[in-house]
Each structure stands twice: as structure tokens, then as C-alpha cells.
Amino acid sequence: MNHQKLEIAGRTFESRLFLGTGKFGSLRDMVQSVIASETDMVTMALKRIDAQSSEENLLDSLREAHVHLLPNTSGARTAKEAVLAAQLAREALETNWVKLEIHPDPKYLLPDPIETLYATEELAKLGFVVMPYIHADPVLCKRLEDAGTAVVMPLGAPIGTNKGLRTQDFLEIIISQSKVPVVVDAGIGAPSDAAKAMEMGADAVLVNTAIAVARNPLNMAVAFKEGVIAGRRAFESGLGAIANHAEASSPLTSFLFE
């Protein structure tokens, strides 16, 4: 079967699973999980990048894994901070891709839609490939498209909660009307959640906590890889519609035609 490949800003991705690199107990666990997941792209926080350090670090380890690095602006509270962070990341990592995260609320790390829109406008003008982390807000997604975003990354549930697709109804609206790829980010707690997102027609998912804090991160990475493949294959194969009502075995209206 010939799979449709994911394309973002002219780059083709074999895998529809993206990984976050935080929360792992060791660099080794993280790199092994990245490799086992067969992902093409991982995100890492600019605030964790230490260009001055000479010892083994996140960046070197990830380069060994031969994946595309997507810096993120985690820690930024305003558009201004995020734009500065993106510019620094562009220098440090030599990439114009950026995962935009602006969360003035450090408790639930919920994204600020207003600042995110401002930053997307600004970064798109500066030539960045912008991947904003947002609420599952269909109107915001359209506004971000107008602002020149490369994808939209709506959350499935509050980040780190492993609660799954709590925003399903809104994700479905976003997917149905989006002109840019939809990457479901945050809250995906189990491979079945990832599969479900893919079955719904999401273009990709991003997973971090569920893999990083699993008892066996490497095996969990494989499980997510398989979940994503299964879900996507089901979507492309045309899932049967779920009937919302009972279908009587002998039609109730057949008497009309007798």
C-alpha cells in the first residue's frame, strides 16, 4: 500500500510521530526512544540548550540520532520573548523551524492565543517555519493560517496529563477545515490516543510525557510508533462510519412500498 507522506513547508516526513525530549531520566533513554520511535523530528527547548558546555549534552546526543531538530520556545510568556528565543534558536541550531510555545501560566502551561497569534505573524514575516502550540480553537487555527503558520498544533488535553483527546469535538472541526497540517500536541497518554487522533484524520501527533516517564521508554516509543501507523492506515483506508442509531433488520417503512 502506498502511504501518503506528510509534508510541512516543503519537507517530507516518513513518520507521523514527533517526539518531545524533556522529562527523560537519562540522555541514553531519550536517544534510544527517539531511535526506536523511528520519528523524523523531535522538539527540544531552547532553554535546555547549553552551547557553552563541553560535556555530553542533549544537542550532541540528538544529532547522533539523525533527526530533524525542532527548537521550541518553552518558557516564553510573551510574543516578544518567543520571537527573541526563536531567533536565538535559529543561530544555535541553524534551523528556521520553530515550535512556538507561549504559556504565561506556569501551572497548566496553557498557551496564550493572543500572544501566539502576534508571534506567528512576526515570525512568519521573518521567514520562520512556525509550528504553534495552541488550544483546540478552530477560529484561532484559521487566524493562524492567515498569519502564515506552517501547521497548527492543537492540544488534546492539558500538557503532561496523559488524558487523551479531551478536545475531540474541536479537533474534528479543526481537521475538517484546515488548509495546513494538523499536529495534535499535548495530552496524548497512550498509543490508543495517538491511533485515535490519526483515525480522525490528524496529520501527525507529538508525544513526550507518556514515553519519557514510562517504565520502559524504548518499548513505549515503539508502541506509539505502531499506534500512529495503525491509526493513519485506518484513516487512509476509509473507516466505516459509526451509526448513531439502530438499523432494524426488517425496515420499518417497507410497508409503504408493498
Partner 1 sequence: MKTFKDVFERYQWEEVKNKLEKVTLADVRSSLQKKNKTLDDFLNLLSPAASQELELMAGMTQMLTQKRFGKTIQLYAPLYLSNECQNICTYCGFSLDNQLKRKTLSDMELMIEASVLKSMGVNHVLLVSGEANKIVGVPYFQNAVRKLKPHFSNISIEVQPLMEEEYKLLHEEGVHSVLVYQETYHQDVYREYHPKGKKSNFHFRLETPDRIGRAGIHKIGLGVLLGLEDWRVDSFFNALHIDYLQKHYWKSKFSVSFPRLRPAEGIIEPNFIMEDKDLLQLICAYRIWNEDLEISISTRENEVFRNNIVSLGATAMSAGSKTNPGGYAVDKESLEQFETSDERSMDEIRLMIKKAGYDPVMKDWDSVYSGI
Query: For helices 138-147 and 113-125, what crossing angle results, to 10°?
Result: 20
The rounded distance, in Å, linking the Cα atoms of 92 and 102 is 20
- What cell does 193 get? 490516543
* Residue among 32 and 162 whose Cβ is closer to partner 1: 162
* Residue among 102 and 144 whose Cβ is closer to partner 1: 102
* Residue among 23 and 143 whose Cβ is closer to partner 1: 23
- Least gap, CB of 45 to partner 1 (angstroms): 8
- What cell does 11 get? 519537507
The rounded distance, in Å, linking the Cα atoms of 6 and 128 is 19
Our finding on whether 71 is near partner 1 (CB under 8 A) is no
* Residue among 126 and 180 whose Cβ is closer to partner 1: 126
Find the binder of partner 1 among 35, 124, 180, 213 (CB under 8 A). 213
Residues 136 and 154 sit within 8 Å (Cβ to Cβ): yes
- Least gap, CB of 107 to partner 1 (angstroms): 5
Find the binder of partner 1 among 9, 35, 59, 88 (CB under 8 A). 88
Return the sign of the alpha-carbon dihedral for residues 96, 45, 145, 2: positive
CA distances (Å), origin 255, targets 165, 248, 250, 251, 252: 44, 14, 10, 8, 7
| Burial classification of residue 12, based on how many CB atoms lie within 10 Å of its CB (0-12 exposed, 13-18 middle, 19 or more buried) | exposed
Active site residue 99: yes
Q: Rg of the Cα trace of the chain?
A: 20
Find the binder of partner 1 among 80, 135, 142, 166 (CB under 8 A). 80
- Least gap, CB of 119 to partner 1 (angstroms): 14
* Residue among 9 and 109 whose Cβ is closer to partner 1: 109
Report the site for partner 1 in 109-168 (rule: CB under 8 A): 160-162
Torsion of CA 12, 87, 107, 187, to 10 degrees: 0
Find the binder of partner 1 among 15, 43, 72, 209 (CB under 8 A). 209
Our finding on whether 53 is near partner 1 (CB under 8 A) is yes
Residues 155 and 136 sit within 8 Å (Cβ to Cβ): yes
Query: CB under 8 A: which stretch of 69-77, 123-131, 141-149, 198-206 binds partner 1?
Result: 69-77
Residue from 5, 99, 163, 179 carrying the catalytic annotation: 99
Q: Which residues are catalytic?
A: 99
Q: What is the contact surface with partner 1 in residues (CB under 8 A)?
A: 22-27, 45-50, 53, 55, 75-77, 80-81, 84-85, 88, 104-108, 160-162, 209, 212-213
